[in-house]
Amino acid sequence: MTGRSTDANKAFTLDTDRVAVFDLDGTLVDSVDGIAVAINRLLRAKKALPLQREEASALLGHGLDAFAKAACESRGVTLTDDELWRFHHDYLSNPLIGTKLYPRVPATLSLLAQKGWRLAVCTNKSEAPAIAILNGLAIFDYFDVICCGDTVEQQKPHPGHLSETLQRGGFRHLPAVMIGDHAVDVAAASASGMASVFAGWGYGHTEPAFRPSAVASSFEDLPGILESLIPARSRSLA
């Protein structure tokens, strides 16, 4: 899905030559509380103990299906197809509940766009909740393309997910950086020959086999880090 509207472009440089690709959960937004509410309703119905926030956070990164299955496995209960559907329906009914932007996200996205970065989202989350969150938190228009887990054949860590994101945005010819909080983001970037920035404020952790190009401790650190990875070429303002 494409994002940025004409109005959102007015103050931005137009001769852009580099791309910043963002993960969603744990990178742009803190959504674990809302996801945990939905899975804990399911677990209580199965007479199982609910997940604590830290437990739920550790299971994120591979999409909602994988999260629900891992949550049930952690409590020693079996997840049926019908229960998985009900979990999805419960969460999708209002994915904005328990979801908030990390500090300085809009201001930093605006700064990156003004500095000539094209912005994209590559997430294993399904499209319906991803779009609802981006719209509901008023950052949808910053992004040229949003490529979600249920619109591609292979999700991160497969490099095909990143390639498809760049293809849909018309960015295959531009240098790009992947920003994410999970090993799947770093692995996808590595397999694509792309630089990566690990989002240290998120849920995940790095793995020895996949080293990020850089680590950021806060969202507002990104402009300087990204500039060091792909320096700007001279450009004129429209």
Is residue 17 part of the annotated active site? The answer reads no
> By the 8 A CB rule, do 176 and 226 touch?
no
> By the 8 A CB rule, do 198 and 181 touch?
yes
Burial label, 92 (beta-carbon count in 10 A; 0-12, 13-18, 19+): middle
Residues listed for the chain:
238
Two tokens, residue 12:
């931005």
* Euclidean distance between CA atoms 151 and 155, whole angstroms: 9
Two tokens, residue 35:
């996801």
Q: Each residue of 103-142: b (16+ CB within 10 Å) or e?
A: eebeebbeebbebbbbbbbbbbbbeebbbbbbeebebbbb
What's the DSSP call for residue 25?
Answer: B
* Euclidean distance between CA atoms 63 and 234, whole angstroms: 39
Two tokens, residue 224:
């300087």
The 3-state DSSP class for residue 180 equals: strand
Active-site residue (options: 23, 141, 144, 181) = 23
> By the 8 A CB rule, do 128 and 92 touch?
yes
Name the residues annotated as catalytic: 23
